[in-house]
Structure 1
Amino acid sequence: MKSRDIRKAFLNFFESKGHLIVPSAPIVLKDDPTLMFNNSGMAQFKEYFLGNGTPKSKRIADTQKCLRVSGKHNDLEDVGFDTYHHTMFEMLGNWSFGDYFKKEAIAWAWEFLTEVLKIDKDRLYVSVFEGNEAENVPFDQEAFDLWKQYVPEDRIIYGNKKDNFWEMGDQGPCGPCSEIHIDLRSDEERAQVSGRSLVNADHPQVVEIWNNVFMEFNRKADGSLEKLPAKHVDTGMGFERLCMAMQGVTSNYDTDVFTPLIQKVAQITGLKYTSNEVKNISEEQNKINIAIRVIVDHVRAVAFAIADGQLPSNTGAGYVIRRILRRAIRYGFTFLNQKEPFIYQLVAVLADQMGEFFPEIKSQQNLVTQVIREEEASFLRTLEQGLHLLEKVVAETSGKEVKGEKVFELYDTFGFPKDLTALILKEKGYSFNESEFEAELKKQKDRSRAASEVATGDWHILVEGNTEEFVGYDQTENEVKITRYRKVDSKKDGILYQIVLDATPFYPEGGGQVGDRGVLVSANETIEIIDTKKENNLILHFAKQLPENVNTTFQAKVNTELRSLAASNHSATHLLHQALRTILGTHVEQKGSLVSPNYLRFDFSHFAKVTDEELKEVEDFVNARIQEHLPLIERRNIPFAQAVEEGAMALFGEKYGDSVRAIKFGESMELCGGIHVQNTADIWYFKIVSESAVAAGIRRIEAITNKAVKEYFADQEHLLAEIAALLKNPQDVAKSVTSLQDENAKLKKQVEQLLKDKAKNLKGELASQLENINGVDFLAVQVDLDAAGVKDLAYELGNNKNNLFVVLATVNENKPMLTCYVSKELVESKGLNAGQVVRELGKYIQGGGGGQPFFATAGGKNAAGIQEALEKAKEFVK
């Protein structure tokens, strides 16, 4: 069976069992502060397991894009070296929310594998939870008895807590699980060694393909377990591993999930890939195989992340994506000899392969291709820069072992991988101190971990049931009761309390808009709400203290000034989006935004810098809509399909429900859950303050509205007045500034000519000071010239000399600089090297530098060391 047929068979089977088939959630999570990426099939359903929401069906099935590269689930370093770990993978899943339980889950799993897919029953093993006395959880007798109906007892394995008790995290829903493993070894191998002994032993051909999790407990903050009010089923089947089983191969990479990508890499590089069936391959071929596996795996993860709205960057989720891509580039650079961008060419293959099930990869194909190509080009430049830096480190190393701290600096500052460093050093006959490197890496990880450590307490439930609702579209003040609260202690923010209200007017951070701030007021006290966020369908109000009486009634009051300013900026982003699509073209799509009371930031797809003329057009377009006094037309709870059909813009990477809210100002109509002005006139004025690049094909506009614009104009007026006063209040300030610039340019030319004349005069004076040492005309002296003058002087002195060695020192604005000139003949005959000279002498001025063998410079910060440096220069010719 082809991979697409296997997908269809799974979804059709569970649809026949009464399951609603839902699309995959985005791989990038935007509404769950506990996760960067969707790392399992159940991530998008967490709120249902926690009891904070109601699913549209009690039975659901899907195929979910997952990414495991950070945190508890991190497979990155295994990828490429084995045949079954991946960064991005698909998880086929069927779910029961308080409906069926173990009996049906086990029966249907067996039916699908053995009757629909016709997998040989003799190749399958199952596991059940053996129980855990410390947790007071007994052996899963029910699952064991159910499995006995389908498999012999000797094929049922007792699994421990590590293998057969699944948990969402340190806290939350969890329960025993029952896994299904498949033995893909040859008949001869199976006859010699029982597959039972190889289950969960990391054997590449005896692998888990399906996990049935029976959610029946809740893990509390103190580690104890309590029963959930309802029992759920959460299953996950590794799609790539299932394809391996169905296509009669022993490696995921030999399935049609990966072979088209592998063939494309082979075509581009001219190198072949050998399948897992080929034995006794050379070490060189094995390295090529690993590199190709890394690249075809990683391009899937990166491409889908970008398609879902996560661009590579230097922080957070963007850094993870950049790191994955750079790992792929580095393997191509080192083992496939690819010195130019090439991975971007795989996107077209991926889009053809997966576009039917995941349309976002098709619709975003151009953007994904451009971003990956630019990232490749950028990192290849970084690798080149790293090579130069490494040469410098080697030159400064005494002995044959480079300090681990230096290698870590290359890794941390320039993204230069340690294994590539090791490879290059080995070629030069060097090594590095790995224990020192690991010590520095551990320090960095400890710092990062300490900064992000969070201890979350259990919820204190005051009101049972799902009573919470958001009333903030219509009210900014409301009478409320606290339904639950918990304490959170983080290294970053200290102790905070998360409070949930029954009917809150506070808007939780989302859709780019920051969360509301305000107060909870009772008869006896006022509690400040410093932020509002949403997690697992709960609106969390953050406070530094709890009310003395959590059971009393409060008046919840939103800070209306901050909210109205944020609303002004949010509505302006909609008008900005419309303006950009009108002026630049309909290829423009929103790729991210930040809406705060102070300013707005809007990221969008566009492949060129927006010109000043275009920016002026965009600004005028938005302000024209403001001047038209367009009223807000808001429609709530309309079907998603209907809203899109009527022209509403839906953003890629956003998760929409069946019912949505549409916001319309004139011709601008978007799906949006944020807070908006009632009329565009409330925005007052729109002013762009900057336009820049974020990544390849992505531009960013920052702008201000309302109060911030008034302050901006006032500041500009004040600045103009100050400039006019400095110019003695001329009638035409611009003309006066132009006149000053012209005068300055003339004076600059005069100064440059005077310095050249000074250098020429100095040449004759210094020529008489040359000292012949061992056949070398030597001079080391401090001069009063700028950098350009020193260079001219050095070359002037060297014009008529074949044996000149000069070191000139200067100080400009308290910053010392050393310049070394060596005649080319001396470089060849005496082995003198200006670059090495300035590196050595630069130590005396607490600096460093480099250059060519015949000319180099070094800057520093200790001018007092100049004299000693000049004295030491003589030792090079002695």
Structure 2
Amino acid sequence: SIFPVTGIPHSSVLFSKVHLIYNYFVSCLYSLVDVFVQLMGDVFPELKDNEKKIKDIIRDEEASFENTLVKGYERFKKAADAVKENGGAVLSGQDAFVLWDTYGYPTDLTEVMAVDFGLSVDMEGFNVSMEEARQKARNARYKAGGKSIVLDANATSQLHNQGLSSTNDSPKFQHEVHSSVVKAIYTGSEFITTASGDEDFGLVLESTSFYAEQGGQIYDTGSIEGPSGSFAVNNVQVFAGYVLHICSFLEGSDSRALSVGDEVKCKVDYARRALIAPNHTCTHMLNFALRKVLGDHVDQKGSIVLPEKLRFDFSHGKPVQPEDLRRIEDIVNQQIKDGLEVHAQEIKLADAKRINGLRAVFGEIYPDPVRVVSIGPKVEDLLANPESKQWLSISTELCGGTHISNTRDAAAFALISEEGIAKGVRRITAVTAECASQAIKLAQLIETDINEASKLLDGATLEKKIGSIKNTLDAAAIPAARKADLRGNISKLEDQLRKAKKKMGEENIQKAVKTAMDAAEAAVSQGKPFCVTRADVGLDTTAVREAVVKAMNRFKSLPVMVFSIDESSNKAVVYAGVPPDAPNGFKVLDWLTPSIAPLKGRGGGGKNGLAQGQGSDASRVQEAMEIATQIASMKLS
């Protein structure tokens, strides 16, 4: 059995189908690794170099797949049992969709499993859930750009058939107002000659200085000025070589129309791009640092460069340890400190590929000529001796994005988080410039708070401070390595708190026991048949209870009640003890319950003659003690 715990019926059609799927993924694929490497290893030598890694990954996937099957079945069984308990006969389409979407169960497998439970599946509901999910995906596209306008294959074919050349976007590396001509206006469904009204529209220009989203870098925003008003550029995308500016009419424009053939001026929001550029350059330096620290197996799996942060996905089989994160961060910051020049040049693709250490994204199709970005040496120096091993110690990549001119312009780099996003793929999020400086300052402030907290002697105050610092630290966007260090410092604080609590508890017990003993001894010497006293040990119930028990053990026939309050919270704790041989049937709850009424108290117990009470109005503790004294006097007189 491959499911010895879940109880999947072995003889059922269900088990046969699950077993078939499992065997396909596990037995078949894993057994083909050796054969595949043998057949294709000469063509793809990296297969031979990474044969063990490939096997390890498939082995991990096998375990993960089996686990997913088990969890999916458990999810199905829970849903099916719920349907049967309610007298139903149909598994909901939403449940079937979750099995498909989250656990990878095809609908026909779900239907077979449902038959084993005497159920059918609401396929119409499944289709509705599927369409809702697709609609959510559609709505998410170009969310930041408002209306979703896409040049599909049919639209780009129309432009091509009209003889319209691809958009010249070479001015995107300039930092000045660029003049161009409107070549096409697109609504998302059709091309029009004039845009007017309040609807968003797509604009294709002859040339543009706007950067279209590509290579991980977010699109530019800004405005386009026409002869009859200005238009906001909310998003810029490229489709088959045509750069599409998704525009909306600016409020307050005198005229609200734009036509094909109009001359326009492109005004990029260069202040926003100035925030993006250091993030892009630091993405390159991060890529270099990752390979230097973690090894040559690191490959870029994706990235996004935004004004407020950068995100970089890379191949690595396990979490990156804090000490390695610190080394990676230090390498990038050292390059920033060194003030290295950032060079970019278009060269032949074949020449670029000869440069030792050149980084490119696997699977990406690059143009010819291609743009090379190097940090440190000039591109012509790389071409002069492309096979030199010294180029392995610098960052060189194929990239069409915008960058800073010198690494010192990035000012600072802070690696905020590192996490896994898929099997063998990790993700780093980082910030630069002012955002990085703020992250570093915030880490310093938290460290100062921790140092100040370590000087606190009062356990209750320290406990509140630790809770506050932990909440701040969890939510703080600070360097990940520093966060790990600070969590370690908080652990030391918690150890300090535990020791302080233990010491305080011991001191409270000694104080409460002495108070109760002195009061009980005084009561006996005065001929009182009971003892009511107050021990100022806050809400330490252990200390108050110990005081009552010790006093009763010392003075065998003496009923004892001890009060203690916490003025800051205005709460009280009370313990009472009555010996089993107390006269007149005197019971502990008969004494405790009315005594704590002024405290707005509640209590319980009675086991072995002991009972505990709590009160929410400690200001009336004296009144409560007087009532306790009166009750005991009457009962024990």
For the aligned pair, the TM-score class normalised by the smaller chain equals 0.5 to 0.7
2:243 alignment counterpart: 539
Q: For residues 358-507 of structure 1, what are the structure 2 equivalents within 5 Å?
A: 370-396=56-82, 397-398=84-85, 401=89, 403-405=91-93, 406-427=95-116, 430-434=117-121, 436=122, 438-451=123-136, 452=138, 465-466=164-165, 468-470=167-169, 471-488=171-188, 496-507=200-211
Contact preservation (8 Å) 1:367, 1:697: no
1:504-562 per-position Cα deviation (integer Å, ceiling 9, x unaligned): 11111111111111111245522111111111011111112496133332221111122
Between Structure 1 and Structure 2, the one with more helix by share is 2
Q: SS of 1:574's equivalent?
A: helix
In 2, distance between residues paired with 1:736 and 1:442?
Answer: 51
Contact preservation (8 Å) 1:393, 1:402: no
Residues 625 and 342 from structure 1, CA distance in 2 versus in 1: closer, same or farther, beyond 3 angstroms? farther
Q: Is 2:210 the partner of 1:512? A: no
In 2, distance between residues paired with 1:674 and 1:531?
Answer: 16
Q: SS of 1:703's equivalent?
A: strand
Residues 357 and 467 from structure 1, CA distance in 2 versus in 1: closer, same or farther, beyond 3 angstroms? same
Amino acid at match of 2:373: I
Amino acid at match of 2:168: E
Shift of 1:658: 3.0
In 2, distance between residues paired with 1:332 and 1:362?
Answer: 33
Contact preservation (8 Å) 2:417, 2:428: yes
Q: Aligned match of 2:327 in 617, 627, 635?
A: 617
Residues 461 and 384 from structure 1, CA distance in 2 versus in 1: closer, same or farther, beyond 3 angstroms? closer
Contact preservation (8 Å) 2:25, 2:62: no
In 2, distance between residues paired with 1:596 and 1:358?
Answer: 36
In 1, distance between residues paired with 2:27 and 2:271?
Answer: 50
Contact preservation (8 Å) 1:464, 1:483: no
Cα RMSD for the two superposed structures: 4.4
In 1, distance between residues paired with 2:96 and 2:343?
Answer: 59
1:680 alignment counterpart: 407
Residues 475 and 355 from structure 1, CA distance in 2 versus in 1: closer, same or farther, beyond 3 angstroms? farther
Q: SS of 1:472's equivalent?
A: helix
In 2, distance between residues paired with 1:443 and 1:621?
Answer: 51
Decide which moves more: 440-449 or 337-346.
337-346
Residues 595 and 360 from structure 1, CA distance in 2 versus in 1: closer, same or farther, beyond 3 angstroms? farther
Shift of 1:635: 1.7
Q: Aligned match of 1:634 in 319, 344, 350?
A: 344
Amino acid at match of 1:650: A
Q: Is 2:326 the partner of 1:652? A: no
Shift of 1:668: 1.2
2:623 alignment counterpart: none
In 1, distance between residues paired with 2:400 and 2:273?
Answer: 14
Residues 481 and 579 from structure 1, CA distance in 2 versus in 1: closer, same or farther, beyond 3 angstroms? same
Contact preservation (8 Å) 1:339, 1:380: no
Contact preservation (8 Å) 2:371, 2:400: yes
Between Structure 1 and Structure 2, the one with more strand by share is 1
Q: For residues 556-567 of structure 1, what are the structure 2 equivalents within 5 Å?
A: 556-567=266-277
2:496 alignment counterpart: 742
Residues 736 and 685 from structure 1, CA distance in 2 versus in 1: closer, same or farther, beyond 3 angstroms? closer
In 2, distance between residues paired with 1:345 and 1:643?
Answer: 39
Contact preservation (8 Å) 2:360, 2:398: yes
Q: For residues 56-95 of structure 1, what are the structure 2 equivalents within 5 Å?
A: none
In 2, distance between residues paired with 1:680 and 1:614?
Answer: 22
Contact preservation (8 Å) 2:97, 2:130: no
Q: Aligned match of 1:607 in 290, 293, 317?
A: 317
In 1, distance between residues paired with 2:456 and 2:500?
Answer: 24
Residues 589 and 524 from structure 1, CA distance in 2 versus in 1: closer, same or farther, beyond 3 angstroms? same
In 1, distance between residues paired with 2:97 and 2:541?
Answer: 47
1:732-764 per-position Cα deviation (integer Å, ceiling 9, x unaligned): 99889845553247759989997xx99xxxxxx
Amino acid at match of 2:165: N
2:143 alignment counterpart: none
Amino acid at match of 1:403: L
Amino acid at match of 1:626: I
Shift of 1:723: 6.8
1:570-605 per-position Cα deviation (integer Å, ceiling 9, x unaligned): 111111111111122112111111111111111112
Q: For residues 629-778 of structure 1, what are the structure 2 equivalents within 5 Å?
A: 629-636=339-346, 638-647=347-356, 648-666=358-376, 667-716=394-443, 738-739=492-493, 741-744=495-498, 747=501
Q: SS of 1:481's equivalent?
A: strand
Residues 569 and 408 from structure 1, CA distance in 2 versus in 1: closer, same or farther, beyond 3 angstroms? closer
Amino acid at match of 1:564: A
In 2, distance between residues paired with 1:608 and 1:654?
Answer: 25
In 1, distance between residues paired with 2:541 and 2:67?
Answer: 38
Residues 456 and 680 from structure 1, CA distance in 2 versus in 1: closer, same or farther, beyond 3 angstroms? closer
In 1, distance between residues paired with 2:167 and 2:75?
Answer: 58
Residues 338 and 358 from structure 1, CA distance in 2 versus in 1: closer, same or farther, beyond 3 angstroms? closer
Decide which moves more: 519-528 or 534-543.
519-528
Amino acid at match of 1:682: D
Shift of 1:484: 1.5
Decide which moves more: 442-451 or 502-511.
442-451
In 2, distance between residues paired with 1:351 and 1:619?
Answer: 37
1:181-207 per-position Cα deviation (integer Å, ceiling 9, x unaligned): xxxxxxxxxxxxxxxxxxxxxxxxxxx
Contact preservation (8 Å) 1:341, 1:376: no
Contact preservation (8 Å) 1:687, 1:704: yes
Contact preservation (8 Å) 2:454, 2:493: no
Shift of 1:643: 0.9
Residues 705 and 369 from structure 1, CA distance in 2 versus in 1: closer, same or farther, beyond 3 angstroms? farther
Amino acid at match of 1:420: L
Contact preservation (8 Å) 1:343, 1:373: no
Contact preservation (8 Å) 2:114, 2:120: no
Q: SS of 1:499's equivalent?
A: strand
Q: SS of 1:503's equivalent?
A: coil
Which protein shows a greater Rg? 2
Residues 360 and 445 from structure 1, CA distance in 2 versus in 1: closer, same or farther, beyond 3 angstroms? farther
Amino acid at match of 1:644: K
Contact preservation (8 Å) 2:339, 2:406: yes
Amino acid at match of 1:511: G
Residues 388 and 617 from structure 1, CA distance in 2 versus in 1: closer, same or farther, beyond 3 angstroms? same
1:810-834 per-position Cα deviation (integer Å, ceiling 9, x unaligned): xxxxxxxxxxxxxxxxxxxxxxxxx
In 1, distance between residues paired with 2:180 and 2:126?
Answer: 49
1:170 alignment counterpart: none
In 1, distance between residues paired with 2:318 and 2:135?
Answer: 41
Residues 426 and 450 from structure 1, CA distance in 2 versus in 1: closer, same or farther, beyond 3 angstroms? closer
Aligned residues: 424
Contact preservation (8 Å) 2:230, 2:249: no
Q: Which runs of 5+ in 1 are unaligned?
A: 1-268, 270-286, 292-329, 759-878
Decide which moves more: 563-572 or 472-481.
472-481
Q: SS of 1:664's equivalent?
A: strand
